[in-house]
């Protein structure tokens, strides 16, 4: 079987399974099997595939037809120009979250300590440390499995980040940070069952934001002042309809003038706020 024939068969299989972008995913999967750039694979349509490669490819196509996310099958996802290992233990880093990352890089102090809450694959923490190596960067997550991947991602990207296991701020008692960032779970529990099939394969622990989707923002807003330095900044990714509610929670917790940043699609995506007053209070 040639590359062209294999791709055509895979595309049809994926399309009839309801996979969005069936052709593109077929190309990425075959590129993964051949360990070659996708466009090179596409350009070698007449090349014959060995039966072993064909079998490997169709195994992956069958997984994708079962709506397993492409990134879990390939094992990695790019984020801010770095590559991150991903599997079913972590949320796949989203392009939306690059907005949070860019804002964090703009707001970051030159020195000091930065904390990434709900770090998951470690993508935010790793990119911040890579871009600003003089910062001390910490990350926490309640999932031991996620931290396993986060540590591997830091090592593979050549940076040193201190990851601690625990619920939000719990592993950092007594510490103060110049900047705290987080992409916490923010989907209302009742909406989880109507998510895209692929998203349902991601850990619900990383998505479920409680009845109204705001439960992590409530906890972060009330606890963050006890962990921020004077003039410290908090940056949160939000769902596109949560800006007002999250801004209100931050103001009530003593933060000043929350600022909303939109993503490339023009939707509200990030809220940033500084701690007002002389000192952080618990």
Confirm if 245 and 214 have CB atoms less than 8 A apart: yes
CA distance readout (Å), 250 to 14, 43, 147, 245 = 44, 53, 28, 9
Q: Give the binding range for ligand GLN (CB under 6 A) out of 126-134, 140-148, 181-189, 257-265.
A: 181-189
Nearest residue (CB) to ligand GLN, 10 versus 147? 147
Write out the two tokens for 132.
């600003």
As a whole number of angstroms, the distance between CA 77 and CA 153 comes to 11
Nearest residue (CB) to ligand GLN, 57 versus 216? 216
**Closest distance of CB 12 from ligand GLN, Å:** 28
As a whole number of angstroms, the distance between CA 263 and CA 247 comes to 17
Name the phi and psi angles at 233, rounded to 5: -120, 145
Q: Give the binding range for ligand GLN (CB under 6 A) out of 25-33, 143-151, 184-192, 272-280.
A: 184-192
Show the beta-strand stretches assigned E in the chain: 76-79, 82-85, 112-117, 135-141, 162-165, 177-182, 228-237, 255-262, 268-275
185 binds ligand GLN (CB under 6 A): yes
**Closest distance of CB 78 from ligand GLN, Å:** 17
| Closest by CA position to 182, among listed 128, 263, 131, 111 | 128
Nearest residue (CB) to ligand GLN, 74 versus 199? 199
* Positions 93 through 112 that interact with ligand GLN (CB under 6 A): 94, 96
Nearest residue (CB) to ligand GLN, 7 versus 261? 261
Q: Give the binding range for ligand GLN (CB under 6 A) out of 18-26, 52-60, 152-160, 183-191.
A: 183-191
Q: Give the binding range for ligand GLN (CB under 6 A) out of 32-40, 54-62, 65-73, 177-185.
A: 177-185
**Closest distance of CB 271 from ligand GLN, Å:** 13
User: How far from each other are the two terminal CA atoms of the chain, in whole angstroms?
Assistant: 66
77 binds ligand GLN (CB under 6 A): no
| Closest by CA position to 135, among listed 113, 168, 164, 159 | 113
Nearest residue (CB) to ligand GLN, 11 versus 237? 237
As a whole number of angstroms, the distance between CA 279 and CA 282 comes to 10
**Closest distance of CB 203 from ligand GLN, Å:** 10
Name the phi and psi angles at 261, rounded to 5: -115, 140
Nearest residue (CB) to ligand GLN, 27 versus 208? 208
Going residue by residue from 187 to 216, which x/- string records binding to ligand GLN, judged by CB under 6 A? x-----------x-------x---------
146 binds ligand GLN (CB under 6 A): no
- For ligand GLN, the binding residues (CB under 6 A) are 94, 96, 183-187, 199, 207
């Amino acid at each position: 079987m040639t590359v062209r024939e294999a791709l055509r068969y895979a595309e049809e299989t994926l399309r009839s399974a309801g996979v969005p972008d069936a052709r593109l995913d077929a190309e990425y999967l075959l590129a993964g099997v051949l360990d070659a750039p996708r466009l090179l694979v596409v350009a070698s349509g007449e090349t014959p595939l060995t039966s072993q490669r064909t079998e490997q490819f169709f195994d992956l196509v069958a997984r994708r037809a079962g709506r397993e996310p492409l990134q879990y099958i390939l094992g990695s996802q790019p984020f801010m120009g770095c590559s991150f290992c991903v599997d079913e233990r972590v949320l796949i880093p989203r392009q939306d979250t690059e907005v949070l990352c860019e804002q964090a890089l703009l707001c970051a102090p030159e020195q000091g300590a930065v904390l990434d809450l709900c770090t998951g694959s470690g993508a935010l923490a790793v990119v911040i440390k890579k871009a600003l190596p003089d910062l001390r960067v910490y990350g926490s997550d309640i999932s031991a499995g996620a931290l396993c991947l986060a540590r591997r991602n830091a090592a593979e990207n050549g940076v040193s980040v201190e990851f601690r296991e625990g619920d939000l701020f719990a592993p950092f008692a007594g510490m103060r940070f110049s900047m705290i960032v987080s992409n916490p779970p923010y989907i209302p529990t009742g909406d989880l069952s109507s998510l895209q099939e692929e998203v349902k394969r991601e850990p619900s622990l990383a998505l479920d934001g409680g009845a109204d989707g705001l439960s992590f923002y409530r906890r972060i807003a009330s606890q963050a002042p006890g962990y921020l330095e004077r003039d410290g900044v908090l940056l949160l990714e939000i769902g596109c309809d949560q800006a007002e509610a999250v801004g209100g929670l931050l103001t009530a917790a003593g933060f000043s003038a929350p600022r909303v940043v939109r993503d490339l699609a023009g939707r509200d995506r990030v809220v940033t706020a500084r701690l007002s007053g002389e000192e952080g209070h618990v």
